[in-house]
């Protein structure tokens, strides 16, 4: 019997249970055998994006009219969780940005023309999406962006730069935030646009060298008088900040899913190691202090798992789940880093070797407390609701 809670019967439909099995099979048959090579390559090859799209794994959050299945936030959570179990955080991040953090802006607020033009290729993985909000001087402080978009007849002229953009190198479509009203203060005056790779004046840096998430590409973007059609505006002008904030709720839930999958897999791998590793005349698992530490970690992870699933459930019911999403994002990445620290410690010297999955997972885990809103920012957001 697994020590981990099985919440599927409580929260998931039969269709979502079936999707979990399909995702897990894809992870085991396609990602795990190839992940090491993708770490060296710096990305998941497009053929595997196509495979995921053909299996319906990239369209679970998208409308059926454009090839999706409209399975909602719980489907996103399950996908994130199962990708987390792969032990390859880069694959997890690249796919998660595409499925739940970028293209959905078109699905939620794009015109019918934008939806028809882009979404069918998004859900099949033929077009890879990125979200371009962060700038060299504006990370968690979204209201501080400086990239500008000036209306000129039937188009906008964009100038500025974006930083730390996942799928930045190999992406095709960028959901890009720019300031359309320079006189507006803070969050007001920001709009969202679809920018296609290949647009004149749009350039992408070489892949940025990161500590972890090596199987996903991250880049800096440069916009030098990039002209995009006015029809590429997502939703209303000057409403972009609110669309970004709306998207954060699902993004934070998905990050919770990433953490669930990684934490549970790391614990499984560590338990296997502890029960087989002999030291001082017995196995490491025979040492009481190690048992107590591992049991405490399991309890903490399962408590956090309940919060993530309940928050996704609220979101699926159309309820305000923003407080829960802040809690998930504030707590679970910190907990995952705690789990990974102990798992590396209990692996001893092998936990510091690149051939050991927990070493890679410990590097991949660190960014989750920073990206998508740093822990401290999440706590401030939560405090505003108190």
Length of the chain: 386
Estimate to the nearest angstrom the gap between the alpha carbon of 169 and the chain centroid. 17
pLDDT tens-digit map of 104-117: 999 999 999 999 99
- b or e along 347-357 (b: 16 or more beta carbons within 10 Å of the residue's beta carbon)? beeebeeeebb
- Determine how β-strand 173-179 pairs with β-strand 129-132: parallel
Res. 1: pLDDT tops 60 = no
What would the mean pLDDT of 94-98 be, rounded to a whole number? 97
**Least confident segment among 14-23, 153-162, 305-314, 367-376:** 367-376
What would the mean pLDDT of 80-85 be, rounded to a whole number? 97
What's residue 47's pLDDT? Answer: 97
What's residue 355's pLDDT? Answer: 84
Query: Hey, what are 136's tokens?
Result: 């060299």
Mapped onto helix, strand or coil, the DSSP state of residue 308 is helix
pLDDT tens-digit map of 235-262: 999 999 999 989 999 999 999 999 999 9
Q: Which helix (H) or strand (E) holds 176?
A: strand 173-179
Res. 138: pLDDT tops 80 = no
> pLDDT band at 186, cuts 50/70/90?
confident
End-to-end CA distance of the chain: 40
Cα–Cα distance measured from residue 383 to residue 180, given in angstroms and rounded to the nearest whole number: 30
Res. 348: pLDDT tops 70 = yes
What's residue 177's pLDDT? Answer: 95
What's residue 143's pLDDT? Answer: 75
Res. 216: pLDDT tops 70 = yes
Tell me the catalytic residues: 251
Beta bridge partners of 175: 131, 194
What's residue 139's pLDDT? Answer: 67
Give the other-Cβ count within 10 Å of 178's Cβ: 28
Q: What is the mean pLDDT of the chain?
A: 95
pTM of the predicted protein model: 0.94
Cα–Cα distance measured from residue 25 to residue 14, given in angstroms and rounded to the nearest whole number: 17
- What Cα–Cα distance (Å) separates residue 31 from each residue in 34, 90, 149? 5, 11, 39
C-alpha torsion angle, residues 233, 50, 130, 357 (rounded to 10): 160
Measure the CA angle with vertex 252, ends 213 and 351; round to 5°: 35
Q: Which domains does the chain have, with CATH numbers?
A: 8-123 (1.10.540.10), 129-237 (2.40.110.10), 242-384 (1.20.140.10)
Res. 27: pLDDT tops 80 = yes
What would the mean pLDDT of 36-51 be, rounded to a whole number? 96
370: left (phi over 0), alpha (psi -120 to 50) or beta: alpha
What would the mean pLDDT of 275-280 be, rounded to a whole number? 89
What's residue 57's pLDDT? Answer: 97
**Least confident segment among 16-25, 82-91, 122-131, 237-246:** 237-246
Query: Hey, what are 52's tokens?
Result: 């995921």
């Amino acid at each position: 019997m697994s020590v981990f809670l099985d919440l599927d019967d409580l929260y998931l439909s039969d269709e979502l249970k079936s999707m979990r099995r399909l995702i897990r099979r894809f992870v085991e048959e396609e990602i795990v055998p190839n992940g090491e090579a993708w770490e060296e390559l710096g990305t998941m090859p497009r053929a595997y994006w196509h495979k995921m799209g053909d299996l319906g794994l990239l369209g679970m959050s998208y409308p059926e009219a454009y090839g999706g299945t409209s399975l909602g936030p719980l489907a996103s959570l399950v996908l994130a969780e199962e990708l987390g179990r792969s032990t390859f955080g880069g694959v997890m991040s690249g796919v998660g940005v595409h499925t739940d953090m970028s293209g959905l802006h078109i699905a939620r607020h794009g015109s019918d023309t934008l939806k028809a033009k882009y979404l069918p290729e998004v859900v099949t993985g033929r077009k890879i999406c990125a979200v371009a909000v962060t700038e060299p001087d504006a990370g968690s402080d979204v209201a501080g962006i400086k990239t500008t978009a000036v209306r000129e007849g039937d188009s906008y002229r964009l100038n500025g730069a974006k930083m730390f953009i996942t799928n930045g190198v190999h992406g095709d479509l960028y959901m890009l935030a720019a300031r359309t009203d320079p006189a507006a203060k803070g969050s007001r005056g920001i709009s969202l646009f679809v920018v296609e790779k290949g647009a004149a004046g749009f350039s992408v840096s070489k892949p940025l060298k990161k500590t972890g998430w090596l199987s996903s590409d991250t880049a800096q973007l440069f916009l030098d008088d990039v002209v995009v059609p006015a029809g590429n505006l997502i939703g209303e002008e000057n409403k972009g900040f609110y669309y970004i904030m709306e998207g954060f709720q699902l993004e934070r839930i998905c990050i919770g899913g990433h953490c669930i999958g990684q934490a549970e897999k790391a614990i499984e791998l560590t338990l296997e190691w502890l029960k087989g590793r002999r030291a001082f005349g017995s196995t490491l698992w025979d040492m009481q202090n190690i048992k107590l530490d591992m049991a405490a970690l399991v309890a903490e992870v399962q408590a956090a798992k309940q919060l993530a699933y309940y928050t996704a459930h609220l979101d699926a019911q159309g309820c305000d789940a923003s407080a829960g999403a802040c809690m998930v994002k504030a707590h679970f990445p910190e907990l995952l880093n705690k789990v990974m620290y102990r798992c590396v410690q209990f692996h001893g010297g092998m936990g510091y070797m690149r051939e050991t999955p927990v070493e890679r997972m410990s590097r991949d885990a660190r960014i989750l407390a920073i990206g998508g809103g740093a822990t401290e920012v999440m706590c401030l957001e939560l405090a505003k609701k108190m």
